[in-house]
Copies of this chain bind each other. A is one copy, B any other.
Amino acid sequence: MSEVYAVRRTRLRECCNAAGSAAALVSRPANVRYLAGAAPEGAVLLLGRTEDLLVCAGPPDDRSPHNRPDEALRLHLVPGIGGDPAVAATGLAVGQGVDSLAVEEHHLTVARHREIRSVAPGLRLTGIAGAVEQLRVVKDEEEISCLRIGAEIADQALGELLESILVGRTERHLALELERRLVDHGADGPAFPTSVATGPNAGRPGHRPTDRRVEEGDFLSVCLGATYRGYRCEIGRTFVIGTAPADWQIELYDLVFSAQRAGRESLVPGTACRDVDRAARQVLDSAGYAEALPVITGHGVGLEIHEDPQLTPAAMGKLDACVPVTVEPGVHLPGRGGVRIDDTLVVRPEADGGPELLTITTKELLAL
């Protein structure tokens, strides 16, 4: 595994050198983990001129074999109490004879940036805005395999919940139960706070579970994900509670299903991100739901649950192969509820069978 991290660091070093900086200071935790194999709390990575260093506030917790710093990196522990690893790393960079340091201006606060400047007044500070995030967009097969296992875990947790009795239980209890099951099946933890939405809450994007209880006739929408070895996936499904869905429920469900399918089927390398959004959105638009739609149809996933690319009407850029994204259109009707269907898929060329669906729980409308 160590070589993977070294290759990633070499790619970043090339970006920095091309931009005129001999060294870079990476502070955003997911970026540190991507380049160093682990991100102990508060740690920063110095891509130095003569040596790369992981600078930590305390000894890294290396009991998990999947969250250990790359052994090719030298560890530097900041001595004393409350020392800022970013400041310490800047001092080490100066010690290496670096005269220009690229920092993550979208992560460092103004106050930390000023402190760095004050300990190294002669150092030129430049930005590497989003450089590591861009490297992270296309995943290798090892990363995709972590996402695949995470998706399997989420499918299992969801499947078990569906076998239990739901009527009378609260959104909060169902969400907690799902999170417990994720961990039972081997997840590091939930990928994001689990959303369980019933009745009028169903279909609301990012709904936080309340004490509302599941009732007969409700729509029930659930969105959850597992973190596995740091990688985060997402699945969302909507069900009906009771023996038979009402006509309006079937209609709405079929519509969102068609929109989500249109989005999924457009996941081809080279497609513009905005075209994936449009494929899904126009199905709902043309049925008269333009107002009820969320602003985003999907997004990249990986070490963070929201990564590039964004699938929105204004998104720039095209999809590449091996980019995992969610496709998650939905409609929420205030006071009535709604439907949301969400999968994690990997963009693959048609020659390889087209988009790879990671979250395989059925998308038939189940009456529970």
Chain A interface residues toward B at CB < 8 A: 61, 63-64, 81-82, 103, 105-114, 127, 129, 172-173, 176, 179-180, 183, 208, 210, 295-296, 310, 312-314
Contact = CB atoms under 8 A, between A and B. Distances in A.
A44 to B, nearest CB: 15
A63 B110 contact: no
A171 to B, nearest CB: 11
Contact of A105 (B106, B109, B310): B109
A243 B176 CA distance: 33
Given A180-B180, A295-B81, A107 B106 contact: no
A8 to B, nearest CB: 23
The 8 A-B pairs with the shortest beta carbon distances in the complex, nearest first, are A105-B110, A106-B111, A81-B295, A105-B111, A110-B113, A176-B180, A108-B110, A106-B109
Contacts of A129: 111
A312 B80 CA distance: 11
12 contacts: A61-B208, A81-B314, A82-B295, A103-B110, A105-B109, A105-B110, A105-B111, A106-B110, A110-B113, A172-B183, A176-B179, A180-B180
A296 B81 contact: yes
A208 B64 CA distance: 10
A52 B128 CA distance: 35
A109 B109 contact: yes
Given A61-B208, A81-B295, 5 more contacts: A103-B110, A105-B114, A172-B183, A176-B179, A180-B180
B107 A109 contact: yes
A204 to B, nearest CB: 9
A63 B183 CA distance: 29
A50 B208 CA distance: 35
A314 B83 CA distance: 12
Nearest to A295: B81
A107 B179 CA distance: 31
A108 B105 contact: no
B210 A63 contact: yes
B183 A176 contact: yes
A205 to B, nearest CB: 10
Contacts of A176: 179-180, 183
Contacts of A64: 210
A73 to B, nearest CB: 21
A82 B314 CA distance: 10
Contacts of A296: 81
Nearest to A296: B81
A81 B173 CA distance: 33
Nearest to A110: B105
B210 A81 contact: no
